[in-house]
Amino acid sequence: MTDTSPIRPVRYWDGTPVPFITAWSKEAVPPQPLAVIEGRGGVGLGFRDEISHIDRRYGALWMRMPATRGGQPELERVHALRQPQAMSRLLCQVCGGPTVGSRLDERTLFLAASADGRPIGEGEVTASPPVHAVCARLAVEHCRPLRRGWTAALVQYVPIWGVAGLVYDPVTLTPLPRSSSRTGLHDIAFTDTVRLRCTLAARLLVTLEGVTPVTDLDALADEETAVIRAVR
């Protein structure tokens, strides 16, 4: 019988679960063949050998990166292609399976590290894709930042907000100073069309609306398991 569960087998490395969006050592970012191009909105960033339907999504140029999941996992690094795939399709960032349909109320679970106890806020912008409750429980057990403190919320609406990426001078192709954030990436809203044209995107960002805090992942995971069994 075919397994129709939305929860996929999680990859492990040396006894540690490896999230779906994690980059591996054989997925190093290659040199990006950047060029200055003239588009509908004016001068902006492009690739010398650009294939628009592959290299551009949501009006932004996306970082090229192999997708092989070979070598060793680099748990601090996020894959520039699997992250937007997970975010746009609401796939679980841990197992890669669809989160839609795992709850009767059709809300989506989001999880974040929070050593200071700050909860996920209404309207918050995030680069962290959703997660199954079962996978969230696994992540809290094994992920070092989450072990120091976590916060979770069920979210009603997840509109796409923008991208996070590297910003370049549109004439000289000189990279602008990196953001002061942990990733060094700049958050660029889709409404900021001028900077969007000068950005090499590496993350897809969404806003979280209709936020309900979650404190008991065990209860949520049991409820999710019951729903999945009932619909199979």
Residue 185 has pLDDT above 80, yes or no: yes
Greater confidence (33 vs 170) lies with 33
Among 77, 48, 52, residue whose Cα is nearest residue 65: 77
* Mean pLDDT (whole number) for 155-180: 94
* Mean pLDDT (whole number) for 133-148: 95
Q: Identify the pLDDT of residue 4.
A: 67
Residue 38 has pLDDT above 60, yes or no: yes
For 84, list phi and psi in degrees, rounded to 5: -65, -30
Q: CA–CA separation, 136 vs 142, rounded Å?
A: 10
- Around Cβ 77, how many Cβ atoms within 10 Å? 16
Burial (CB count within 10 angstroms: exposed 0-12, middle 13-18, buried 19+), residue 142 = middle
Express each pLDDT in 57-79 by its tens digit.
Answer: 998 999 999 999 999 999 999 99
